[in-house]
Amino acid sequence: MTQSPEKSSSHTDGDGGVSERSGTSFWNIVQSVGAGLIGVQSKKNRERDFTQGKPLHFIIGGFIGTFVFLFVVWLIVQYLLATS
């Protein structure tokens, strides 16, 4: 009995290694949103995001990143006001 190879979403990446799935992972989105918020996104990562990423993931990540940034600024201001 011959078994057919199962289809897998893995593929080889540019370095010869095998990546488990294409697209952007959670950490890639976090990295891209963080780099985008401070304006240091690399061309390679930006191209990856536009070709493999889903816009909704980056929109949600942007809102969450902005909220976290504003919350941290608010915490710092509260701390500085309390200690002065």
pLDDT for residue 21 is more than 70: no
- Name the residue among 71, 51, 60, 70 with its Cα closest to residue 33: 60
Dihedral class, residue 21 (left if φ above 0, else alpha if ψ from -120 to 50, else beta): beta
26-82 tens-digit pLDDT = 999 999 999 998 889 899 999 999 999 899 999 999 999 999 999 999 999 999 999
pLDDT for residue 16 is more than 70: no
Task: State mean pLDDT over 5-23.
Answer: 49
**Cβ-based burial of 33 (10 A; exposed 0-12, middle 13-18, buried ≥19):** buried
C-alpha distances in Å from residue 75, one per residue of 34, 35, 69, 78, 83: 19, 22, 10, 5, 12
